[in-house]
Amino acid sequence: MDLSAINPVLLVASLMVAATPLLLAAIGELVVEKAGVLNLGVEGMMITGAICGFAISVETGSPWLGFIAAAIGGAILSLLFVLMTQVALANQVASGLALTLFGLGLSALMGQSYVGIKPPAMGRLDLPVLSDLPVVGPILFSHDPILYLGILLTGAVWWVLKYSRAGLILRAVGENHDAAHALGYKVIRIRVLAILFGGACAGLGGAYISLIRVPQWTEGMTAGVGWIALALVVFASWKPWRALLGAYLFGGVTVVQLNLQAAGVAIPVEYLAMSPYLITILVLVILSADKSGAPAALGRSFHASH
Amino acid sequence: MIVLEKRPQPSRTWSMATPLVAVLATMICGGLLFAVLGKNPVEAIGTIFWEPLFGEYAFYYRPQLLVKGAPLVLIAIGLSLGFRAGIWNIGAEGQYIMGAIVGAGVGLAFYPMEAFYIFPLMVLAGAFGGWVWAMIPAFLKVRFGTNEILVSLMLVYVAEQFLASMSLGLLKNPEGFGFPGSRNLQSYASAHNAELIEGSGMHWGVVAAFVAVIFAYVLLNRHMTGFHIRLTGEAPRAARFAGVKPARLILFCLGMSGALAGLAGLFEVSGPSGQISIDFNVGYGFTAIIVAFLGRLHPVGILLAGGLMALTYIGGEIAQGSLGLPAAAIQVFQGMLLFFLLALDLLTNYRIRAARKEVA
């Protein structure tokens, strides 16, 4: 065992990379849940995004186009969820599960010819002087653009939800859809937009795994990240900045356990690999006492009967 | 303009008809999917639904129907109890794995002794393993109000890692030349879940599945607990006034579904699959969710749905071999079925009407 081989600066830098898919998916789901919709299909949308992004960036050679395709792919899959829950008024829990099962199958089908290929790499931020600084440089100034996009998105969502009129309406729909409807807001339309946004974010998160974090395509490669993102929204008690904090915490756990595996700690690999899931459960238990942040209409279907 | 009008009472006719319509719709859409993949849709659908039952080699595939259907029905029966009451155990896959590990572990502990009581003990241990794994989310839900969906699902990943560790470590076959995986229980007579009638596919798991169906039917229709489950799902407020204890219901539903999933795992590991290995689980725990919904959460419905889903598994394998249809296509096909089913449920609860022009 050689713990001194673990470089703390690289550890923090790779923690941020590991956290980004979680963060992107969680921010999307946070907006969806703020609008009063519980979409359990995050895992399915992520994996679909992962393969859409991978396929398009391999075919075109451009990671940027890949990420755009991933967002579109995730949104299209979430459109299915829209049809199920907003049009056909199906149970949201069951529909979300269906979305995940379907997404996992669909992605495996789409990804058959992409196994074992390396995707084009995305450039990293390279600022003169700043990126070369010791410690601060690798942590803050030399990541890929999508990582910064994740942080920007967190800020944007926070601002929109807290200070803008659109955010206020979104929250109103999520807290009490009957009242929002009575005030003349289009409950269904707002929820549809929120779900599509959530799908696009989950797609981006998935593509981040297949294009940057791993970067490779394997079946079922998201391995529960979508579910952890769902837990993260609860952890964050529906507050964007806390979602960022949570994502870094989980990213940290993942990276530390990988580093410990590499350093050959006396704990068997399988038990280390369990740790992110166990910690998710632990965190859920600690935080489940406080449900004050949950949108009041979460998971309830809306049907204007008059 | 089309409007939805809520029915005063769910339509019984549509409740029975939606699974059939959903299957038809899935066949059509699935056919389109197969056509996109460059296969003849009629041939593909025929292969999946006709070959295993009436094809040339049906004598081989028909027993497989029981082998594949039994775990699906066992798990789905357990899940349906909880789903009816709004308790979402989606970690059956993990409970299935743990049941298999604990049950096989007990059997292997006796190796190479031969005795009549070993297999019954393994069955108990299998149910116990699944039960314990399901009691984790149940206890956390009751004690701390933790979301059972996320906890039960996280435990699937934990169980998968545990399975890997067991098949590489504690349960590894000492005479296995270093390959991962346990001893083969098929060659250990006292622990082998053998076919009861040669060549029929009928093993103890199939018997257990039928017993579970009858048990669930009686429970839901003739027993107070079953009434409480239905009441909680249909009218939670009324249930509270009637004195239903939610905590007890959560422990019962999750525990029951865990135990049944554990049993399914044990019967699988001691019978058709034979040994604990890294990729022992094949996703029955997730497919069972589809089976539970396809069977309308009704015991008899689940029995039929389990048969149908087993058919798509077997037919899918045949189509893989003869038509080169990718395995994932069947997974998509099954997911599609769940979509149509949930969406068509609309017709049970709502009436679709053309909107009349109203004069103000």
Predicted confidence (pLDDT) per residue in B307-325, tens digit = 888 888 888 888 888 877 7
Select the highest-mean-pLDDT range: B24-28, B54-58, B184-188.
B24-28
Nearest residue of chain A to residue B344 (CA atoms): A88
Answer whether residue B67 shows pLDDT above 90: no
Kindly report the pTM of this predicted structure: 0.85
Runs of H (alpha helix) within A83-137: 92-110, 136
Per-residue pLDDT of chain A (306 residues; tens, 9 = 90+): 456 666 777 777 788 888 889 999 999 999 998 888 888 889 999 999 999 988 888 888 888 888 898 899 999 999 988 888 888 777 788 888 888 888 888 888 888 888 777 777 777 766 666 666 776 666 677 777 788 888 888 989 899 888 888 888 888 888 888 887 888 888 888 889 999 999 999 999 998 988 888 788 888 787 888 888 888 888 787 888 888 888 888 888 888 887 777 777 777 778 888 888 888 888 888 877 666 667 777 777 777 764
Q: Does pLDDT of B130 surpass 90?
A: yes
For residue A2, the model assigns a pLDDT of 59
Helix (H) or strand (E) holding B352: strand B350-354
DSSP B176: S
Q: Looking at CA atoms only, how far is residue A163 from chain B in angstroms?
A: 30
> What is the set of domains in chain A, with CATH numbers?
3-119+147-287 (1.10.3470)
* A98 closest CB neighbour out of B328, B342, B349: B342
- The number of C-beta contacts closer than 8 angstroms across A and B is 135
What distance in Å separates residue A281's CA from the closest CA in chain B? 6
Contact B343 A90 (CB under 8 A): yes
pLDDT of residue B265: 92
Can you tell me the distance from the alpha carbon of A49 to that of A43, in angstroms, rounded to the nearest whole number?
10
**Identity of the residue in B146, B149, B157 whose CB atom sits nearest the CB atom of A285:** B146
- Tell me which residue in A93, A102, A277 faces B157 most closely, judged by beta carbons: A277
Determine the Cα–Cα distance for residues A231 and A34; give it in Å rounded to an integer. Answer: 15
Please give the CATH number for the structural domain made up of B65-325. Answer: 1.10.3470
pLDDT in tens, B135-150: 999 999 888 888 888 8
CA B18-B20-B26 angle, 5° bins:
100
Burial B303-324 (b: 16+ CB within 10 A, else e): bbbbbbbbbbbbbbbbbeeebe
For B145-179, write each residue's pLDDT tens digit: 888 888 898 899 899 889 888 888 777 777 777 77
Confidence of residue B355 (pLDDT cuts 50, 70, 90): low
What residue spans define the domains of chain B? 65-325
Does A109 contact B326 at a Cβ distance shorter than 8 Å?
Answer: yes
What pLDDT digit, counting tens, does each position of B211-225 carry?
Answer: 888 888 888 888 888
What mean pLDDT is reported for chain B?
Answer: 83
Mutation site, B1, B155, B158, interface A, largest A CB count within 10 A: B158
Nearest to B328 among A90, A109, A234 (CB): A109
* DSSP secondary structure code for residue A84 in this structure: I
pLDDT at B98 over 70: yes
| Residue length of chain B | 360
By C-alpha distance, which of B7, B29, B99 is closest to B338?
A: B29
Distance CA A151, CA A27 (A): 10
pLDDT at B128 over 90: yes
Higher pLDDT, A96 or B7: A96
Backbone conformation region of residue A125, classed left if phi is above 0, alpha if psi is from -120 to 50, else beta: beta
